[in-house]
Amino acid sequence: MSNFSLIVLLLALMAIGYQLGMVRSRKVAIVNPQQKMHSRPHHYGMMVGLWAVIPAFFILVLWTLLSPGVINGMVAAQLPAEALAAEGLTADVIMRRISNLATNFGVVAEAAQWELDAAAYMQQLQTSSALLLTGLMAAIAAAGLFFSFKRIQPHLRARHQIERTVKAVLIICSTVAILTTIGIVLSMVGETIKFFSFIPPADFFLGTTWNPRFSTTGVSEGSLTGSQGSFGLLPLLSGTMMIAGIALLVAIPLGLMVAIYLAEYAPANFRATAKPIIEVLAGIPTIVYGFFALVTVGPFLADFGASIGLTIRATSALTAGVVMGIMIVPFISSLSDDIITQVPKALRDASLGLGATKSETIRKVVLPAALPGIVGAVLLAASRAIGETMIVVLAAGNSPTLTANPFEAVSTITVSIVNQLTGDNDFASPQTLVAFALGLTLFVITLLLNIVALVVVRKYREQYE
Amino acid sequence: MTDNKLSSTDKDVAVEPVLLSKTQQQVAASLARRHRQEKLFKGVGLGAVIISLTLVAILFVNIFAKGVPAFWQAHITLDIYFDPEVISISEKPVQGADETDNEFRQRFIEWQTEVGMVNFNRLILDGLNKVIPEAQERQYRRDAARIVTSGERYAVRDMVIENPEIIGQTKTVNLLTDANIDVWLKGNIDRSLPDSQQQLSPKVREWVEMLSAQGIIENRFSFALFINPDSRSSPASAGLAGAFVGSLYMMLVVIFLAVPMGVAAAIYLEEFAPKNKFTDLVEVNINNLAAVPSIVFGLLGASVFIGWFKLPMSAPIVGGLVLSLMTLPTVIIATRSTLKAIPPSIRQAALGLGASKMQAVFHHVLPLAIPGILTGAIIGVAQALGETAPLLLIGMKSFVSQIPAGPFEQSTALPVQIYLWQGNELRNFFEARTSAAIIVLLALMLTLNGLAIWLRKKYEKRW
């Protein structure tokens, strides 16, 4: 029986258990009129339902995780030794062939008799495993249902049991975020260490050429070194920083002035219309910005450059940077807006009372007071710009050269990740693994920026709250 | 002494107005400059707002100007004679009484294969010959074959499969023309270019002019864009249906995974969690996760879900899982701020009447928080819908010519389809089609965001 139908059956069982528990608790209440039931009938029902389902569900999960390994082991133990030696294939490949035969998926080339035997054995094991699982789950579910059903008594604290279960589920859900972080770090660190076994870290972090060449998967390690290509991070890092820098040069003045105007000058109804419209920019998918940069902004900048005698490539650091700047304007403006409105009114009143004009108050009093928060917002925006992918994939030109000219095509860390990790994900060549080293670098850079930003913002909050 | 003092005071009084007036003079002199600065500052602020609004407008006008025409496409109306000599197929199988479903399906598939062997192009070309007699001539055969896009023979085939009785009849059929004809008619090929650079041969151009003057070729609403999957061999019939269904599966995964998990985590952290190191760690973690670049989640998906768990490449289930992890912090943060805004008096009232903490939260706090939670969830889903970068890393950028039948099938997603189309070499056709796809995506996202805003407005409560 498939896992899906087992789950459907479990849910049906839960409903039955719920009904049984409710009926039973009502009966118990009638039989013992002098004793007050601890919980409401539906609590008892739910308790019975949970007892019927949860242990059986755990069995299902464990079985699904463990049984393939056990079955493979048993099949492998049955394989004739001479067959293994004769074929010269790895055990892994043989097992894959056998499991393909067992699922009637078919294999390349004629299957040998011993392979067919093993496949038949595997099929037989899988059938009995499924039967065994169904039987075991039925038994455990029945036992859970029966015992919890029997335990219904006036003094049984059914509600407490349910609440404990719910709380456990809540706790498990809140650890998913931690597990995700651990997963990110572990997977990337693991693959990065593998990558550093091909390329020394110094060559990666300090190398000035990025030329990963073709993928050399399947070539033996000895010949690999000859055609290895160079994995220098610096050209990518400089491209990333240049584009992020241009983006910030566009976004900081624009975003900050928007925030100041909307927070300090704009009449309420103007603010109420303009703010959401600008925030629409934040909700537009980055692929749309990429397309906009590629077909509109790039050619426009190239034409503009030509008209004033500059050679600007249509896909260049400038194009990507300008469009990315547009993208992060709402990010900076809404964060700064919040921070500026949080500055206490007393500061403004004091300054105005001394005769300062409104703009002097803003420049000399409000902005210095809001500065830590604004710096935090800018750092967050910078981390977003560094991690942004689709705009640079489409509009930065993908040319990993070490250049200081923003009118040239460049490449970034994110672009290289996308270029290196597509198609077949065979995690064995440095060409693929480098994506994880780049990802880890990116993760560390953005993490540092975020932490600094959070610390700065927190420090600021302590001043006024 | 007194005199002296008085006189000194007098002296002060006499001197001070002069001093004051000097300061006043300074102030008065600088006042004009300061007011100019004030105006300038305010003007710069207003300018920044106007520039930002203009940028929004340019972006939208640009995409719409390019994309809206692509919703209409050149169609050709032909009378097609379903010639029994060309379509020589056996009768459509009907399930016999003594036949199992499986046997019938087998027989039906065999029949479909037989129908698939028929030369439907012949039928289309015969239909074309009726309106362009010239097309029969041997030297124009290749030109004639270029008028109707190649994918349309399947449309004709499906008509036969649907209703075999039309064999022997003549039907008026609307077919998509080749992509280049569409581009040419819309004026997106410079007609002054030399012949070798035109994408259509002179003969085809002549025919197309003639047919569109007769109204046989005309611009109609392109349903193909919405009901077809992507196509490489026949660009004119490439559509968004495959990508849309792929995105739909992923959004379902996000809705059923990220939203309940995120809400549960937020409830625990906001209502139950004790103040300790672990809770702090979870909190810092969630804030950081919200700012991790999306591409990093793609790397996680590639190495964990595909590398370790051996889930299939390019499948919506993997994309959905990756997007769920990415959306989780958004949902948690939104839910927490909603829960935080609900006044403690609600909880205290419930607890005071004897409810347990769990009951207070689930019976009283949560129902009040539902509009806010929904808003957060919708915004999270909209964000996931527009995300492209992580999907590229888990193989979703491969070309898929079918509508995926389940979440484990190969598929692409709407934003990835946009990425694929913008890179298509048939540039002047796909630039418009990409913009049209962007309009569809933006419409979906704006609808979701609009829904979120509407919910917030409708149920917003100030405590």
User: Which tens digit of pLDDT belongs to each residue from B375-423?
Assistant: 889 989 999 999 999 999 988 888 888 888 888 888 999 999 999 999 8
3-state SS record for chain B: CHHHHHHHHHHHHHHHHHHHHHHHHHHHHHHHHHHHHHHHHHHHHHHHHHHHHHHHHHHHHHHHHHHHHHHEEEEEEEEEECCCCCCCCCCCCCCCCCCCHHHHHHHHHHHHHHHHCCCHHHHHHHHHHHHCHHHHCHHHHHHHCCCECCCHHHHHHHHHHHCHHHCCCEEEEEEEECHHHHHHHCCCCCCCCCHHHCCCCHHHHHHHHHHHHHCCEEEEECCHHHHCCCCCCCHHHCCCHHHHHHHHHHHHHHHHHHHHHHHHHHHHHHHHCCCCHHHHHHHHHHHHHHHCCHHHHHHHHHHHHHHHCCCCCCCHHHHHHHHHHHHHHHHHHHHHHHHHHCCHHHHHHHHHCCCCHHHHHHHHHHHHHHHHHHHHHHHHHHHHHCCCHHHHHCCCCCCCCCCCCCCCCCCCCHHHHHHHHHCCCCHHHHHHHHHHHHHHHHHHHHHHHHHHHHHHHHHCCCC
CA A233 to chain centre: 24
Q: Three-state DSSP class for A231?
A: strand
Amino acid letter, A303: D
Task: For residues A395 and B426, give the distance between their C-alpha atoms in angstroms, rounded to a whole number.
Answer: 19
Contact A426, A194 (CB under 8 A): no
Among A175, A176, A452, the residue to mutate for chain B (most B Cβ within 10 A): A176
- CA-to-CA separations, B433 to A297, B143, B208, B231, B326, in angstroms, rounded: 19, 25, 21, 13, 29
CA A163 to chain centre: 31
Enter the DSSP assignment of A225.
G
- CA-to-CA separations, A8 to A58, A133, A166, A272, B14, in angstroms, rounded: 15, 15, 21, 50, 100
Strands B170-176 and A230-231: unpaired
Q: What pLDDT score does B7 carry? A: 46
CA nearest A424 in B: which residue?
B395
Task: For residues A121 and A102, give the distance between their C-alpha atoms in angstroms, rounded to a whole number.
Answer: 9
Task: For residues B317 and B251, give the distance between their C-alpha atoms in angstroms, rounded to a whole number.
Answer: 10
Whose CA is closest to A393, among A313, A315, A326? A315
CA B295 to chain centre: 18
Cα angle A46-A51-A56, degrees, rounded to a multiple of 5: 130
Task: For residues A247 and A447, give the distance between their C-alpha atoms in angstroms, rounded to a whole number.
Answer: 19
Q: Three-state DSSP class for A106?
A: coil
- Angle of the B241-267 helix axis to the B316-341 helix axis, nearest 10: 40
The first and second tokens of residue B104, run together, are 């019938």
Task: For residues B213 and B341, give the distance between their C-alpha atoms in angstroms, rounded to a whole number.
Answer: 66
CA atoms within 13 A on the CB side of B193: 14
Query: Which residues in chain B have their CB less than 8 angstroms from residue A383's CB?
Result: 291, 293
CA nearest A380 in B: which residue?
B291
The first and second tokens of residue B342, run together, are 């609900």
Q: What pLDDT score does A426 carry? A: 65
Helix (H) or strand (E) holding A391: helix A390-395
Q: What pLDDT score does B19 carry? A: 59
Is A115 an 8 Å CB contact of chain B? no
Amino acid letter, B407: P
The residues in B 252-281 lying below 8 A from A, measured between CB atoms, are 260-262, 264-265, 267-269, 272-273, 281
Q: Three-state DSSP class for A306?
A: helix
- In the block, which residue shows the tokens 């890393």? B393
Task: For residues A87 and A94, give the distance between their C-alpha atoms in angstroms, rounded to a whole number.
Answer: 9
Task: For residues A229 and A406, give the distance between their C-alpha atoms in angstroms, rounded to a whole number.
Answer: 26
Is A426 an 8 Å CB contact of chain B? no
Contact A184 B296 (CB under 8 A): yes
Task: For residues B160 and B62, give the distance between their C-alpha atoms in angstroms, rounded to a whole number.
Answer: 42
Q: What pLDDT score does A218 carry? A: 44
Task: For residues A184 and A192, give the distance between their C-alpha atoms in angstroms, rounded to a whole number.
Answer: 12
Number of Cβ pairs closer than 8 Å across A and B? 260
Among B44, B250, B287, B299, the residue to mutate for chain A (most A Cβ within 10 A): B299
Residue from the list B41, B51, B265 with its beta carbon closest to the beta carbon of A174? B265
Whose CA is closest to B301, among B223, B219, B389? B389
- Average of per-residue pLDDT values in chain A: 85
CA nearest B309 in A: which residue?
A65
CA end-to-end span of chain B: 69
Q: What pLDDT score does A385 carry? A: 93
Cα angle B316-B319-B323, degrees, rounded to a multiple of 5: 135
DSSP string, A167-206: HHHHHHHHHHHHHHHHHHHHHHHHHHHHHHHHS-HHHHHH
Query: Which residues in chain B have their CB less than 8 angstroms from residue A325's CB?
Result: none
Task: For residues A99 and A96, give the distance between their C-alpha atoms in angstroms, rounded to a whole number.
Answer: 5
Is B395 an 8 Å CB contact of chain A? yes
Contact A187 B303 (CB under 8 A): yes
In this structure, what is the dihedral angle of CA atoms B326, B328, B334, B337, given to the nearest 10 degrees? Answer: -130
Task: For residues A47 and A159, give the distance between their C-alpha atoms in angstroms, rounded to a whole number.
Answer: 8
Contact A108, A132 (CB under 8 A): no
Residue from the list B261, B285, B296 with its beta carbon closest to the beta carbon of A178? B285
Residues in chain A: 465
* Å between B221 CA and nearest CA of chain A: 24
- The interface predicted TM-score of the complex, written ipTM, equals 0.86
DSSP string, A395-455: HSB--------TTS-B--HHHHHHHHS-SS--TTSHHHHHHHHHHHHHHHHHHHHHHHHHH
Contact B66, B435 (CB under 8 A): yes
- Classify residue B251 as left (phi > 0), alpha (psi -120 to 50) or beta: alpha
CA atoms within 13 A on the CB side of A302: 15
Q: Which residues of chain B have pLDDT under 50?
A: 1-15
Can you give the pLDDT of all 465 residues of chain A as single tens digits? 577 888 888 899 899 989 998 898 888 888 888 888 888 888 888 889 888 888 888 888 888 888 888 888 888 777 776 666 656 566 667 777 777 777 766 666 666 777 778 888 888 888 888 889 889 988 998 898 888 888 888 888 888 889 999 999 999 998 888 899 999 999 889 889 988 988 888 888 888 888 886 544 444 444 444 456 788 899 999 999 999 999 999 999 999 999 999 999 999 999 888 888 888 888 899 999 999 999 999 999 999 999 988 888 888 999 999 999 999 999 999 989 988 988 889 999 999 999 899 999 999 999 988 888 899 899 989 999 999 999 999 998 888 888 888 888 899 999 999 988 865 556 777 888 889 999 999 999 999 998 888 888 777 665 655
Task: For residues A335 and A378, give the distance between their C-alpha atoms in angstroms, rounded to a whole number.
Answer: 9
Is B32 an 8 Å CB contact of chain A? no
Contact B445 A266 (CB under 8 A): no
Whose CA is closest to A291, among B379, B430, B298, B180? B430
Whose CA is closest to B288, among B298, B280, B276, B278? B280
Is B47 an 8 Å CB contact of chain A? yes
Residue from the list B42, B273, B388 with its beta carbon closest to the beta carbon of A285? B388
Question: Is pTM, for the whole model, over 0.80?
Answer: yes
Enter the DSSP assignment of A226.
G
CA nearest B310 in A: which residue?
A425
- CA-to-CA separations, B360 to A163, A204, B339, B412, in angstroms, rounded: 12, 56, 13, 44
Q: Dihedral sign for Cα B452, B453, B456, B459, please.
A: negative
Contact A231, A207 (CB under 8 A): yes
Task: For residues A346 and B242, give the distance between their C-alpha atoms in angstroms, rounded to a whole number.
Answer: 59
* Å between B158 CA and nearest CA of chain A: 30
Contact B55 A326 (CB under 8 A): yes
The first and second tokens of residue A459, run together, are 């420090």
Is A279 an 8 Å CB contact of chain B? no
Contact B382 A421 (CB under 8 A): no
